[in-house]
Amino acid sequence: MFFISKKGGIFMNYETVNQALDAMHHLEETAAAYEHVMGVTYLDAASAAPKGSYEGRGKTIGVMSQIIYDLIANPENEELLSYLEENISELSAIDRRKVEALRKEYDQINKIPAEEYAAYEVLLNEAQAVWEQAKNNNDFASFAPYLEKIVAFNRKKAAYFHPEMQPYDALLNEYEEGLTMQTLDAFFAQLREVIVPLVAKIGQAAPVDDSFLKQNYPIDKQRLFSDYLMEVMGLDRNYCAIAESEHPFTINFNNKDVRITTHYHEDMVASSMYSVIHEGGHALYELGCGDEYNYSFLSGGVSMGIHESQSRFYENIIGRSLSFVKLIYPKLQELFPEQLGSVTAEQFYRAVNKAEPSLIRTEADDLTYTLHVMVRYEIEKQLIDGTLCVENVPAEWNRLYKEYLGVDVPNDTLGCLQDSHWSGGTIGYFPSYALGSAYGPQLLAVMEQEVGSVDKLIEEGNLSIVTRWLKEKIHRHASFHKPGYLFEMVCGKFDAAYYTDYLVKKYTDLYNL
């Protein structure tokens, strides 16, 4: 069989399981090839492409989305799936999971009308360009019509996929299977109970000086520092490249081709530094996936929550530890002698951990970070259940920032236009960041039972032992295990107390509370 064109609508009757498996594997490879070229096109658009090029890209995305839709929604896949499901007992564990994955995708995509699917992809391409402009010009009004359409599509999608669920639960489910508002409401309440009093206490403590982070740090030197950080993290540059984009992200094509991006701010050295470490954590996950999952329905990281658990583990538990700062500090001082020559590693460590209610999520410290996520969670819930209309997003955003973080938002560029998620069509993703953050300390506890003190490993320059452990336990499985199962397999039942304990200990020590 070759792709859908060759079978030409005449349904094929599979005679053997191997024949059907060949057909499925061919479909996987074809889907992976489309995903690859569309991924490269996305990366190009976000990094290298000239700003005015979105129109032609929109046409291409429109055409390709339709073809990709047809590839999966193709009724012949029903025949293939039915045959394989009937013979499921003869399949290997991996092929069984692949059948499950294709079944889910097939059922879902068939619930979205083809023209809605392609129109949405075209909308997102345009929304990305409009959002970038809107953010630069502090012009929410120009982005609002796009956000409205994106919200409308997501509400529809929720109803198409899971009419039995509350719409926002259906969206959460896309990024973390089984996650619900009920779980999150309780989880966030538990976090707030610990975080809010901690933040208040810190407000009374002696302030941390982080002014030296905000000097002029030439971008060409920051680029060299990114290269160094990637080296320290053990990211093999033969398989992992770095680019620059408005908003940092990671994209993977297979386990030998992963890209991270960062954004340099001349007056904030810690911004790109922690973006690189964060995205580097995502990249290690993708690079660590088993070869056997490449170009298949089970390729790549399994869920956003697990993914964020890896990236935020590297960013915060590793990257914001004193031992890590000490490890990389000689290089930092070498690159920025004027800026940091008279600043000690300890001072730097305290500065990058300064806990302070602020405006920008990606720049937030580990402690207040979750409060930023909660703002977005509350807004998304309301947008999707219809109690908040798009034009009121800025006001609600500002109100919640005041309530949760106690800060006044001066404009939408520093407010509700700061993130690229909504313009990228992702609603229901933000909670994964909080979940991923909370997974980290529990992972650490299990890891340390097996490899000893992680601080000590970092001090000894043995970060690779940490990565190897994560690869063994998490990365190599790619999308074979479902996320909840995978986490429990490694750590036992999820318990947010690991996270709150970690926060309390870290900030009590830092601020001598």
- Positions touching a copy of itself (CB under 8 A) are 2-6, 8-10, 29-30, 32-33, 36-38, 40-41, 43-44, 47-53, 55-57, 59-60, 62-64, 66-67, 70, 74, 220, 236-241, 243, 253-254, 256-257, 259, 294-295
- Residue 241 CB, shortest distance to a copy of itself, in Å, is 4
Q: Which is nearer to a copy of itself, 34 or 329 (CB)?
A: 34
Determine the Cα–Cα distance for residues 297 and 445; give it in Å rounded to an integer: 32
β-bridge partners, 244: 262
Any residues with CB less than 8 A from the CB of 321 and at least 6 apart, and which?
A: 349, 454, 455, 458
In the bound state with a copy of itself, the residue whose beta carbon lies nearer, of 27 and 328, is 27
Q: How far is the CB of 236 from a copy of itself (least distance, A)?
A: 8
Given 176, 279, 308, 380, which residue is catalytic?
279
Cα 60 to Cα 6: distance, rounded to the nearest angstrom: 23
Classify strands 257-262 and 250-254 as parallel, antiparallel or unpaired: antiparallel
**Between 193 and 236, CB nearer to a copy of itself:** 236
∠ Cα 250 188 209 (to 5°): 70
- Alpha-carbon distance of 431 to 211, in angstroms, equals 31
DSSP string computed for 19-52:
HHHHHHHHHHHHHHHHHHHHHHHHHHHHHTS-GG
Q: For a copy of itself, which is the closer residue by CB, 44 or 185?
A: 44
Please list, in sequence order, all residues whose beta carbon lies within 8 angstroms of the beta carbon of residue 444, skipping any fewer than 6 positions away.
313, 317, 454, 502
**Closer by beta carbon to a copy of itself, 98 or else 312:** 98
Minimum CB–partner distance for residue 250 and a copy of itself (Å):
13
State in angstroms the smallest separation of the CB of 1 from a copy of itself. Answer: 12
CB of 123 vs a copy of itself, minimal distance in Å: 17
Structure-derived torsion over alpha carbons of residues 203, 205, 206, 208, reported in degrees to the nearest 10? -60
Q: How far is the CB of 278 from a copy of itself (least distance, A)?
A: 19
The first and second tokens of residue 88, run together, are 């499921």
Does the annotation mark 279 as catalytic? yes
How many other β-carbons are positioned within 10 Å of the β-carbon of residue 306?
A: 26
Comparing CB distances to a copy of itself, the nearer of 34 and 212 is: 34
State the Cα–Cα distance between residues 472 and 60, nearest whole angstrom. Answer: 40
Residues involved in catalysis: 279
